Amino acid sequence: MVRPRVRLVQLLRPHAPLLGVALAAMLVEGGASLLEPWPLKVVVDSVLGTRPAPAWVHALGVRTPSALLALSAGLVVAIALVGAASGYAEKSLVTVVGKRVGFDLRQRLYHHVQGLSLAWHERQRAGDLMMRLTADVDAAESFVTGAVLGIALDVLTVGGMLAVMFALAWRLSLVALLVTPLLFAVALATTRRVKAAAGALKAREAELASVAEEAIAAVRVVQAFGREAFEEERLAREGRDVVALGLAARRVKALLPALVNVLVAVGTAGVLVVGAQQVLAERLSTGELLVFVLYLAQTYKPVKDLAKMTDSWSRAVASLDRIGEVLGEATRVHDAPDARAAPRFRGRIAFERVTFGYDDGPPVLRDLDLVIETGQRVALVGLTGSGKSTCIRLISRLYDPLVGRVTIDGEDVRRFTLASLRGQVSVVLQDAVLFHATVAENIAYGRPDATAAEIEAAARLAHAHAFIERLPRGYATVLGDRGETLSGGQRQAIAIARALIRDAPILLLDEPSAALDAESEARIFAGIERLTAGRTSVTIAHRLATVRRADLIVVLDGGRIVERGTHASLLAQGGLYARLHQIQFAAEPAPVG
């Protein structure tokens, strides 16, 4: 797989104007720090010492030592003020850019993730994906905020200071620079190790998040089976690894400033020895040596910063790699380049020699041929795992067939845009998924512009109205995460209402009534029957009582259609359907169809 690296430059480009202003503020800030030691030099050399004041002081009309002292003191404050103001401006602008970069990146990633196929999502761990959307985006953001211009500022100040230092005393500068190659060697060596450690740590942290997420999502099972201790141990194991890796990364990181400090001290000592001799030989003034030493401390600072920056940089790179991994994942089900918006469907669905398997697994549907006429009510029955849900997924293109095609109104579904196709298909999935939102919002999810009256009508059809009314705040009741404040049957009823509210020509129901009692089921089906008049519907049901009135019953076995016909004709055939029917109704008096 070609992994498109997410490049920082790309992320920063849209914010160039703002960065430009920040850069200008930064130049002023750099200039201020360059000027900082100079008033001190004037005080040491011309107020305390006997050297003549520099020419620009005379130009200002300052003559007496006390006036010179006042001027220098004033300059110290003025330079600090300018530096502070520009530094403030630079930092706030850079923060704005950082936040925006983070926002853009997160949106882009989220958009991509939503478009990825179900097959991909099924392989993902929610915790890991969450880390990519939050912590990894944050790492990129904090690098932009903390380091991008920081590095530029460091390079500029060092450049400026070196220039001044060489102009003042080139021999002394050479002495000061003697340790620099060593400094860089140390910095580079640690950077590489810091980066490796950061990458390893990130991966383990994601693992930790996944373990925690899974256990919390499955807390009912964990508690019901009394496996809390086991889950805690699992988390502890991951946690210990994360701690160990974090400490290892920290140790590598802590090494750099320590080494740098020692090297800097060696450099400063050399400058003091050689510099003091030069002052004694009167080749350098005391003030100039002072400026030099002050500069020196500042030129070494960026190298020390490098430790911090490389850490931030390594983390950003590791995170951008993880984000790039997701962004590089191609959407398996996507719009064909020449896809067009589907016209309003009449609703004739056909499977033409469809073979399909999940991932690289064995075929789940084999050579399937099936025609569902416009307005027909079709029921899919068969043993568990026979491929019923898979059929439904192929119609709304949650997956694409490996061989053959699925058509609607005679046209391959792959020729339509996904949005226009799915917009006309209403689905009730096997496991009702509700959102942490109000009941009304959950129902209106099927049609965001639905009115309160329409929501209620759909709820009545789905036999949800009565129990919704009894909820503490009726339709405005906020459901818990995944809707678990409701019973299984109530959740399903709401999922049905959500599908019914959508005025779609094709209705796909995957065991819509599995969790309902027989009476509610009968009533819901009466409602659905009214609603599906004139629409094409495909219903999957294990309880054969609900499918008896279907226009066409299709029996699947092992991914193949083994029987098709009406209830009566299938019973007469005496095949799989008749057998299933016999088992289900053995204990009951024969129903009157």
Burial of residue 537, with CB atoms counted within 10 A of its CB: 0-12 exposed, 13-18 middle, 19 or more buried: buried
Residue 120 binding ligand ATP, by CB under 6 A: no
Instruction: Report the nearest approach of Mg ion to the CB of residue 96 (Å).
Output: 50
Instruction: Report the nearest approach of ligand ATP to the CB of residue 223 (Å).
Output: 26
Residue 358 binding ligand ATP, by CB under 6 A: yes
CA 116, distance to chain mean position in Å, is: 13
Query: Which of ligand ATP, Mg ion, none interacts with 401 (beta carbon under 5 to 8 A by kind)?
Result: none
Give the one residue of 208, 364, 494, 496 binding ligand ATP; rule: CB under 6 A. Answer: 364
User: Do the Cβ atoms of 364 and 358 come closer than 8 Å?
Assistant: yes
- Give dist(CA 418, CA 396) in Å, integer: 8
Tokens representing 409 are: 């109104």
Tokens representing 489 are: 């049957």
Cα→Cα distances 304→174, 263, 290, Å: 20, 11, 21
Instruction: Report the nearest approach of ligand ATP to the CB of residue 521 (Å).
Output: 17
Instruction: Report the nearest approach of ligand ATP to the CB of residue 385 (Å).
Output: 4
Burial of residue 246, with CB atoms counted within 10 A of its CB: 0-12 exposed, 13-18 middle, 19 or more buried: middle
Tokens representing 348 are: 């004739």
The number of residues that bind ligand ATP (CB under 6 A) is: 13
User: Do the Cβ atoms of 434 and 497 come closer than 8 Å?
Assistant: no
**According to DSSP H, which parts of 54-136 are helical?**
55-59, 65-115, 118-123, 126-131
Query: Which of Mg ion, ligand ATP, none interacts with 4 (beta carbon under 5 to 8 A by kind)?
Result: none
Instruction: Report the nearest approach of Mg ion to the CB of residue 6 (Å).
Output: 38
- Give dist(CA 593, CA 161) in Å, integer: 95
Smaller CB separation from ligand ATP, 64 or 384: 384
Smaller CB separation from Mg ion, 138 or 511: 511
Q: What is the dihedral of CA 472, 476, 481, 482, to 10 degrees?
A: 100
Instruction: Report the nearest approach of Mg ion to the CB of residue 542 (Å).
Output: 9
Per DSSP, the three-state class of 281 is coil
Sheet of 536-540: strand order equals 425-428, 506-510, 536-540, 377-382, 552-557, 560-565
Query: Which of ligand ATP, Mg ion, none interacts with 467 (beta carbon under 5 to 8 A by kind)?
Result: none
CA 228, distance to chain mean position in Å, is: 29
Instruction: Report the nearest approach of ligand ATP to the CB of residue 430 (Å).
Output: 6
Smaller CB separation from ligand ATP, 132 or 388: 388
- Footprint on residues 121-180 left by ligand ATP (CB under 6 A): 122
Query: Which of Mg ion, ligand ATP, none interacts with 41 (beta carbon under 5 to 8 A by kind)?
Result: none
Pattern of binders to ligand ATP over 383-412, x per CB under 6 A?
-xxxxxxx----------------------
- Give dist(CA 560, CA 165) in Å, integer: 84
Query: Which of Mg ion, ligand ATP, none interacts with 285 (beta carbon under 5 to 8 A by kind)?
Result: none
Query: Which of Mg ion, ligand ATP, none interacts with 114 (beta carbon under 5 to 8 A by kind)?
Result: none
Query: Residue holding tokens 């020196």?
Result: 296
Give the end-to-end CA distance of the chain in Å, rounded to a whole number.
57
- Give dist(CA 524, CA 512) in Å, integer: 9
Smaller CB separation from ligand ATP, 122 or 282: 122
Query: Which of Mg ion, ligand ATP, none interacts with 364 (beta carbon under 5 to 8 A by kind)?
Result: ligand ATP
CB count in 10 Å sphere of residue 492 = 28
User: Do the Cβ atoms of 159 and 317 come closer than 8 Å?
Assistant: no
Binding site for Mg ion (CB under 5 A): 389, 430
Give the one residue of 430, 477, 485, 566 binding ligand ATP; rule: CB under 6 A. Answer: 430
Smaller CB separation from ligand ATP, 361 or 410: 361
Instruction: Report the nearest approach of ligand ATP to the CB of residue 583 (Å).
Output: 15
Instruction: Report the nearest approach of ligand ATP to the CB of residue 395 (Å).
Output: 12
Residue 360 binding ligand ATP, by CB under 6 A: no
Q: Which chain residues interact with ligand ATP by CB under 6 A?
A: 122, 358, 361, 364, 382, 384-390, 430
